[in-house]
Chains A and B, each alone.
Chain A
């Protein structure tokens, strides 16, 4: 019997080719990353049945190199009407204009990471990737920070075995421009996020405001607070913390992921009143735009950016608009009708 060399070689060659072709992957089309950020919502005028207000916002669009979107916003921007207690509310967009923001100069920024722990069932879509995205966003922000800016890292939580310091743990000796020093600490914070605890947001922010006022070297002092829950520890009142931030000229920028708690509108008020911004990641998004948001963050903190100002009118079927009326909701934007990719910009204000 002749030994079957040829057959063996043939089988080996076929197996190799099959293996090689199995490695060939088809590249998927890139999904656009859209980052919507609300800056402020302000009352303009009102009658009892009609209210006019303005919302300032910006949208970073990966399809145009993270510059302002080139879409016809007048066509795609809207606020859904609704009925409540027998009153119908309908919204009309009057105009959208570009606005140049005032330059603030280099910033000293304190970052507050929320280490109070994620409850997976509340974050079906966002889930465990939240901590990863929070960590990555923070690292990216630090590392992309140009010369002249500096920052400090902190984390807040209560009753957390990993973070015994209550309510706020500040890392490092002070504001720094060396992003490398936080690399391992950020990884550690992400790694130990399963140490769940309570959320002492107000106490932590109150402490941080004092720290920033005393230690921040630049005149442009900023706070970026990540949050995925409402404050459930207590301490100073929301108004007191907002007033302190305004008095200290420290804008508080909020990156939040969860709105179904009583503090949702408090966060929006805090950011809007102090001159900060609100970046909201919906529960059904995967949070990958949190790190993306930080690409332009330095420019935004320095005031080196353009934004949009949208002018809205809301009509009510009955006379409801009086002093103290709380107007709130989402400004929505369809990015691509085909893929039903849309995004939210929350707003909240009261009629003075």
Chain B
């Protein structure tokens, strides 16, 4: 019953926003992220009693970012010719390298799934062009930390068990706020953003005197958006046909 109600409300929302010219509705995809997690001590000790060398705090693509094909959500955007406001609700899998390869260990990854709600404000640089460049800024709220096999995960819904190191999950705060800056381009119904995000609040649930604590979390992400309302696809088809004729 609940599911039917949610689906019904969603379609009602879709119809309404579809008719309102200044609102866009679409879905998001975040196929690629580069992440860096900082620590304040040279080694971190996990619940299995092993220690891991922190090493250099380089950015990393992790294997879980390949699973970023499932990092998706919906967005709603209020558009004016020269500026826009946008909010998203995304399911997101994040991975961070927290230990460099040492004599004994291969590099270790810490990853979790979460729901994030970014608020974005931006300006369009060339609104008259087909390709609209934009710069944007905002805040992001990350709610919940789940492992890949939790109830929220698409993997779980598909009946797949993903082997994941979630040892640090109980040490990081469940709600993290970020500020972000970015630039991108809108092309018909598609948008491509490159965003840099950094945490605002402290990441640690509890500060440990002897174990390594998180210092900062930095992410660079490629975000994509696909508009599902409005007349942009018809425009796109017409333009393609025009190009083919020429």
Contact = CB atoms under 8 A, between A and B. Distances in A.
Given A135-B51, A184-B43, A191 B102 contact: yes
The size class of the interface chain A forms with chain B is 20 to 34
Given A19-B66, A23-B155, A23-B160, A187 B53 contact: yes
B42 A187 contact: yes
Interface stretch (B80-88, B173-181, B204-212): B204-212
Contact of B209 (A19, A143, A180, A291): A180
Interface in B156-212: 158, 160-163, 208-211
Contacts of B50: 132, 136
A161 B156 CA distance: 51
Contacts of A184: 41-43, 210
Contact of B49 (A15, A21, A140): A140
A228 interface: no
B163 A181 contact: no
A188 B162 contact: no
Interface residues of B, number: 29
B211 A128 contact: no
Contacts of A140: 49
A23 B69 contact: no
B45 interface: yes
B161 to A, nearest CB: 7
A1 interface: yes
A287 B67 CA distance: 35
Given A16-B69, A132-B50, A187 B45 contact: yes
Contacts of B211: 180, 183
B4 interface: no
Nearest to B44: A187
A10 interface: no
Given A23-B67, A24-B161, A128 B103 contact: yes
A204 interface: no
B49 A136 contact: yes
B244 interface: yes
Interface of B: 41-43, 45, 48-51, 53, 66-67, 69-70, 102-104, 155, 158, 160-163, 208-211, 237, 240, 244
Interface of A: 1, 3, 15-16, 19-21, 23-25, 128-129, 131-132, 135-136, 139-140, 143, 180-181, 183-184, 186-188, 190-191, 194, 291
